[in-house]
Structure 1
Amino acid sequence: MVKNYENIKQRLRGSVTPLITPFKANYEVDYEKQTELIDYQLQNGTHAISVTGTSGEPSSLTLEERVYVMENAHKAIRGRVPFAPGTGSTNHEETMYLTKKAQEIGADAAMVIVPYYNKPNQHALFKHFKTVADAVDIPIIVYNIPGRTAVNMEVETLARLREECPNIIGVKESNKDFEHVNRVLLHCGRDFMLFSGIELLCYPMLAIGGAGSISATSNVEPKKVADMHNAWAEGDVEQAQNLHFELMKLNDVLFKDTNPAPVKAALGMMGKIEPVLRLPMDVPSEKLQNEIYETLMDYGKVLQQT
C-alpha cells in the first residue's frame, strides 16, 4: 500500500528555518544553545525547522554529532512545527544511515542534498536518491544546490524520481536559474513541493506555486521571513512584496561570504550564540563584520555601541 503524504504536504509550508549548529568557544556543539535558538524561532512564527543542512555545517560534524543534533532538535521542537533535518552526505551509506535515523527519531521529513564533491552523473544521482527513498517511508525533500555540489539535479531526473518514488515529495532549489525552477513544477507537477533556497527568489517562487522557503536569513530575522509567507497565504500580495524588499539588504550582506559564516557573526552580535565555526570555515573579515553590524542596526537587531 502506498503511503499517503498529503498531511505533511499541507503542514510543511512557509518559512522553514535551516538552523545553524551553535558551537561553544571550545568548538563543542552547544546543545543548550540549539534548544534556545529553536524556541526563538518558534516564538517568532517560523513554520518549520531543519537542521544539519548547509547552514548547519554538516561536513564539519561527525556522524555521531549529526545524530545528536537531530535528536536534540526533535526533542526541543516537541511537535510544535514540522521537523525536516538534512540527512545527505557525499557518502551514500552515511546518507542511508542518517535518513533512517531521521525516521527513527520521528522527523516529519528528511532533506537529502545532491552529493557534493564527487560530481555524479544524472544516472548515478537517480540511483542514489531512489535507493535512499526506497529504504524509508519518511518523505524526502531533494536539496539541489549546484553552487556547492558542482552538479545540478536536472529536471528530467527529478521528474523521474517523483514518478518512481512516492515519498519524494519536493525539492529545495538553491538554483539561481529561475527558468529551471519553473520547469520543475511543469514536469514534476504543480503539487510537487518547491522550496526556495535562494533568498532573493523566496517571494518569486511563491508566485509560481512554491510551497515556501528554506532561507538562512530566517536564522537572523525569523519574523519578517515568516510574515512574508503569511501575507502571501492570506492574499496580501502588497505586504508580501514589501517584506521581500525589506529583507533584501539583510539578504545581501549575509551572503557576502560563505554561508553560514555571516549568519553566525550576526547571531553573535545579537547575543544569541558564540560566533564560532569549525575549520576550514572561519569568521568573516573585520570589514564584513562591520557591515553586518551596521545592517543589523538598521533592522533594529542590535544596539549602537557606546
Structure 2
Amino acid sequence: MAIFKGAGVAIATPMKENLEVNYDKLDEMLEEQIAGGTDAIVICGTTGESATMTEEEHAATIRFAIERVNHRIPVIAGTGSNCTRTAIQLSKEAQEDGADGLLLVTPYYNKATQNGLIAHYTAICNEVNIPAILYNVPSRTGCGLQPQTVATLVKDVENIVGIKEASGNISTVAQIMHLCDGNVDLYSGNDDQVVPLLALGGIGVISVLSNVAPAYVHDMCYKFFSGDIAGSRKMQLDALPLVNALFCEVNPIPVKAALNMMGKEVGTLRAPLTEMEDAHKEVLKKAMMDLGIL
C-alpha cells in the first residue's frame, strides 16, 4: 500500500528573526495544510531548508511534525544525506519517532556512481523497516538515478516503494515505469508536470505549490483519479504562471516570499539563500492574484 496518494506538501520551515526554527509557526502551518486537504506532510526536504539545518535541528523538526500531525495524515521525513552514515542515523531516528516514511535524496556533491547509489540506498533501507521514497533531482544534486538503478533498488530492497521524480525528463520517467512494470509509487517532484506523470501511472505529487494552494493541488490530483482528465489538465495549465514564479529563483526563496505575502509570517531564509528580488516579487504577486490566492 502506498504511503499516500494525491498531494503531499514539501513544507517550508518557518524561521524566527534569529533564524531558529519557529515551531509555533510550524504548528500553524501544519494545521492549515491538514485543513486544506493536503494528503501528506513532507518535512525537512529541500523546501524545508534541510541543507542548512544541524543534525539536531533536523531530527527535532521531524519529531515535532510527527507529534503535531499525530497520525491524521502521513508524515514523510526527509532524511537523505551525501553521507551514508548520516542518512542512516537520521532515518533510524525518524523511524523511532514515528515517521510514516522516508524521502531519500541522492547524495549531493559526492556524485556517486550507479553502483554507489545502489549501495547507499541499500545500506540505509537495511537499517529501517518503514517505506522509503527515492528522490531524483539531478539539477540540485549533480547526481541522477538511472531507470535501471531505480528498477534494481525497487526489486531488491523491500522497503523502497516509490520515487519522487524531479529530473524533468518525461522519457526517463516512462522508462522507470516500464522497467519497474508499474510496481513503484511514482510522485511528481515538479509542480508543472503533475498531470503528465499521473498519466504515466503516477499516484501524486510532492509539491511546493501546495504550501500556498493545498486544496488546489489536492483537487487537481483527485480530478484526474476520478476520471475528470480535462478538469485536472485545466488546473495544471492554469497554475503554470504561479508554478513558474515559484521557481524563478531557487526554491524555497519564492515560496517563502509567497507565504509572507499571504500573511503567514514564515520569516526569512538561512544563508546562502537570500531574499527574493523585487521584480520577481511583483511577478509572483500577480500570479498569486490571478489564481485567486491573494
TM range (shorter): over 0.9
Task: Tell me, yes or no, if the aligned pair for 2:238 and 2:291 is still in contact at 8 Å.
Answer: no
Q: Which residue of 2 aligns with 1:241?
A: 233
**What SS class does the counterpart of residue 7 from structure 2 fall into?**
strand
Task: Tell me, yes or no, if the aligned pair for 2:239 and 2:291 is still in contact at 8 Å.
Answer: no
Q: Which residue of 1 aligns with 2:249?
A: 257
1:265-293 CA-partner distances (Å, limit 9, x unpaired): 00001011234000001111111112212
Question: What is the RMSD computed on CA atoms of the aligned residues?
Answer: 1.0
1:218-248 CA-partner distances (Å, limit 9, x unpaired): 1111111010011112111121111111211
Task: Tell me, yes or no, if the aligned pair for 1:266 and 1:292 is still in contact at 8 Å.
Answer: yes
Q: Which residue of 1 aligns with 2:179?
A: 187
C-alpha separation in 2, matches of 1:38 and 1:203? 25
**What SS class does the counterpart of residue 78 from structure 2 fall into?**
coil
- Following superposition of structure 1 onto structure 2, how do residues 1-306 of structure 1 map, counting pairs within 5 Å? 6=1, 9=2, 11-302=3-294
Question: What is the TM-score normalised by the length of structure 1?
Answer: 0.94
C-alpha separation in 2, matches of 1:273 and 1:174? 28
Residue 102 of structure 1: how far off its partner (Å): 1.2
**What SS class does the counterpart of residue 256 from structure 2 fall into?**
helix
Aligned residues: 294
- Structure 1 segments unaligned to the other structure (5+ residues): 1-5
Residue 299 of structure 1: how far off its partner (Å): 2.5
Q: What amino acid does structure 2 have at the position aligned with 1:99?
A: S
C-alpha separation in 2, matches of 1:130 and 1:271? 43
C-alpha separation in 2, matches of 1:125 and 1:112? 11
**What SS class does the counterpart of residue 84 from structure 1 fall into?**
strand
Residue 297 of structure 1: how far off its partner (Å): 2.1
Question: What is the TM-score normalised by the length of structure 2?
Answer: 0.98
Task: Tell me, yes or no, if the aligned pair for 1:267 and 1:275 is still in contact at 8 Å.
Answer: no
Task: Tell me, yes or no, if the aligned pair for 1:224 and 1:247 is still in contact at 8 Å.
Answer: no
Task: Tell me, yes or no, if the aligned pair for 1:16 and 1:48 is still in contact at 8 Å.
Answer: yes
**What SS class does the counterpart of residue 41 from structure 2 fall into?**
strand
**What SS class does the counterpart of residue 169 from structure 1 fall into?**
strand
Task: Tell me, yes or no, if the aligned pair for 2:187 and 2:203 is still in contact at 8 Å.
Answer: yes
